[in-house]
Amino acid sequence: MPVLTARRLQTGFTLIELLIVLVVVAVLAGIAYPSYNGYLKRSARADAKAELLRMQLAVEKQRLVRIGAMPVLPSTWTTAAPVAKHYQLSFQATGVQDYTLTAKALPGSNQLSDEQAGTACSTLTLVAHGLETRYEPAACWQQ
């Protein structure tokens, strides 16, 4: 009489297959994370630049109302929430037609290590001098 042996089908993954998948995932994460981190920094910097330009618009509106007076930031000014997480914004009037707007990265913020083309971008400055406006550092404002 023939003896029937029941052969069980084995299903699942072997340990080697699982390790190969983990190595592939780790390599992909190692490549993707720095790129994603850079994207977050550029995004926060773009938000700060937009907020500085919004501040400049508010100051210029006040200058139209108060001709000949020192430029001021409206008392109702509020900083947008995404920017407030990463930057401290400041306004300083330096003359009747001159003022400086600054966005400085907050301590502990990821933006402290932000750079563009080898230039540190942790502090962004907009300097208005009469009809001229300077953006510093210039490399951080380009894009």
pLDDT digits (tens, 9 = 90+) for 98-122: 999 999 999 988 888 888 777 888 9
What is the per-residue burial (b if ≥16 Cβ within 10 Å, else e) of 43-75? ebbebbbebbebbbebbeebbeeeeeeebbbee
- pTM for this prediction: 0.77
Task: Return the pLDDT at 1.
Answer: 61
CA distance 33 to 141: 24
Whether 89 is covered by a domain: the verdict is yes
Whether 6 is covered by a domain: the verdict is no
What's 102's domain CATH number? Answer: 3.30.700.10
Enclosing domain of residue 77: 15-141
Whether 2 is covered by a domain: the verdict is no
Q: What is the CA radius of gyration of the chain?
A: 27
Who contacts 115 (Cβ-Cβ below 8 Å, separation ≥6)?
A: 121
Whether 5 is covered by a domain: the verdict is no
When mean pLDDT is compared across 42-46, 80-84, 99-103, 131-135, the lowest value belongs to: 80-84
What total of structural domains would you count in the chain?
1
Which among 103, 101, 89, 94 is positioned nearest to 130, based on CA atoms?
94
Whether 130 is covered by a domain: the verdict is yes
